[in-house]
Amino acid sequence: MMTAQHARPGGPGIARPERTPAALRCALAQVAPHRLAEMERDKDEAIALAAATDRLGPIVQFLETWAVAVEIARNPALAARLRAAEHAARTIDRNAPVWRAAMDEIHAVHAAARQSLGRE
């Protein structure tokens, strides 16, 4: 199920999903279907770890990680910033100052997405 936030020109392409595996998977299928297999692997690992440790932490972390990923992917401006920074981080020498700037941008995009999720 999606929250009541509606898409607007220049804004998110889809409504923010609830923080459940099914809702996040549905949203991811719309904004980044190429990541569905990755999400399923992460979910399986989180469930296995939660069962092995008798703790819910891995499942909570899975939901947080994928809520952030969907938040970025559903927002074209954030997604573009992340793609550019990831490309720079992959292609620039790690000793170059611009590499550190690219890594800082990656962290900033994730922080912006987490902050946006906090305003639900």
For 32-54, write each residue's pLDDT tens digit: 999 999 999 999 999 999 999 99
C-alpha 49/C-alpha 41 separation (Å) is 12
11 pLDDT band, cuts 50/70/90, is: low
4-8, 49-53, 75-79 — which is least confidently predicted?
4-8
22 phi and psi angles, rounded to 5 deg: -65, -45
9 pLDDT band, cuts 50/70/90, is: very low
